[in-house]
């Protein structure tokens, strides 16, 4: 393994993104969803963590807003074919999991421009309902469970540092407990 890569487990990605999203102002349910999407993207496409870092480095509330924009893909489209646009474009890392779910409901999808990794920015998604749509495969997830996911060490450190602010100082907790005991 190269020095700039670290092997992590899917649950670690999920836990850290969930915590880091809380630190960046997301409510617990939103943070949970974002963590699920980023983990999915990192496992299947790579670049999920880096995408998260890029969004989180933006304006206050950027994560919440990006998540809100991704929610258009959380419902089954009422039409057989439909398209969704984002301007500015949205990170593929935030929409790859909902697209996978729609695929399991019989929709094929394509992105414009074509996506390469979770970091790819998507301007438009086309959805077409097709009886022959292939169910998504889960082989990469099985490999991730067995062998771990190789992620960029610097990204991992940045994410870990942000997520650390989800934890509360032992000293503060001990002091609060003493106050409670003395109440």
Partner 1 sequence: MRPSVMGSARLTRFSFSRSMIRRATSNNWKATRSSIELDEYGRGRIIYRVEAEGHVFHFVAFTTTIDESQHTDRVIADAWEISAALIEGEVTQDLLDFLTEEVPKQEDSRLDSRVLVLTRGNRSVRFYEYLVDHLASGSQPNPELVGDAGYIMRSTAFYGNGKFGMRSFLGFDSKHPLSAPYRAQFLAAWLFREASYDSVEYCAQIRNPEKAVAFNKEWCRFFGLGNSTGLGLVPWAMKHPEEVNAWVGIREIALANVRKLPGSAERIEILEKWIDQGYLHFSSFNGEDCWPWMGPDSLSSAILEIQNQFSLLKSDEYPFDALYLWSEHQGDEINELVVSLLLELDETSDEEIDQFLRVNSSHLPDLSLTIEDLKKKFVEKYSWLDELNLESPNAEYFWWVYSDHAEEPRRAARSILDPEHREMPIDIALRLNELRKDLNKSENDTKISEFLKDSPQHGIAINRLVKESGPYSEPRENVCDLDHVPLNLQRFQLAMYGMDNFKAQSTDWVRVTLFQGAPRITELCSDTSDDWVWPQQPKGTNEDLEKEPV
Give me the residues that bind partner 1 (CB under 8 A), please. 6-12, 22-23, 25, 27-30, 32-33, 67-68, 71, 74-76, 101, 104-105, 142, 144-148, 164, 166-170, 172-173, 176-177, 179-180
Name residues whose C-beta falls within 8 Å of residue 109's C-beta, 6 or more positions apart in sequence.
Answer: 99, 102, 103, 125, 126, 127, 128
**Rounded to an integer, what distance in angstroms lies between the CA atom of residue 29 and that of residue 22?**
10
The alpha carbon dihedral of 100, 68, 62, 126 has a sign of positive
Smallest distance, partner 1 to C-beta of residue 50, A: 19
Give the Cα separation of 29 and 21 in Å (integer).
10
Task: Give the shortest CB-171-to-partner 1 separation in angstroms.
Answer: 9
Q: How far is the CB of 135 from partner 1 (least distance, A)?
A: 11
Q: 144: closest CA among 17, 5, 52, 11?
A: 11
The residue written with tokens 């421009």 in the block is 113
Question: Could you tell me if residue 86 is left (phi over 0), alpha (psi between -120 and 50 degrees) or otherwise beta?
Answer: beta
List 83's β-bridge partners, or say none.
126
The smaller minimum CB distance to partner 1, of residues 114 and 146, is found at 146
Would you say 81 or 104 has its CB closer to partner 1? Answer: 104
Nearer to partner 1, 131 or 172 (CB): 172
Comparison of 74 and 112: residue with beta carbon closer to partner 1: 74
Of 86 and 119, which CB lies nearer to partner 1 in the complex structure?
86
- The distance of closest approach from Cβ of residue 124 to partner 1 in the complex, given in angstroms and rounded to an integer, is 20
CB of 18 vs partner 1, minimal distance in Å: 9
């Amino acid at each position: 393994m190269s020095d700039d890569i670290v092997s992590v487990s899917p649950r670690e990605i999920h836990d850290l993104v969930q915590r880091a999203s809380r630190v960046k102002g997301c409510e617990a349910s939103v943070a949970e969803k974002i963590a699920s999407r980023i983990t999915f993207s990192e496992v299947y496409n790579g670049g999920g963590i880096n995408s998260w870092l890029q969004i989180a480095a933006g304006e206050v509330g950027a994560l919440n807003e990006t998540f809100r924009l991704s929610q258009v893909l959380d419902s089954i489209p009422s039409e057989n074919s439909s398209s969704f646009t984002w301007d500015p474009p949205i990170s593929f890392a935030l929409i790859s999991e909902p697209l996978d779910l729609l695929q399991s409901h019989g929709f094929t999808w394509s992105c414009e421009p074509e996506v390469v990794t979770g970091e790819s920015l998507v301007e438009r998604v086309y959805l077409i309902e097709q009886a022959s749509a292939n169910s998504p495969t889960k082989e990469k997830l099985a490999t991730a469970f067995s062998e771990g996911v190789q992620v960029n060490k610097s990204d991992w450190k940045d994410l870990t540092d942000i997520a650390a602010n989800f934890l509360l100082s032992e000293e503060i907790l001990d002091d609060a407990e003493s106050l409670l005991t003395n109440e």
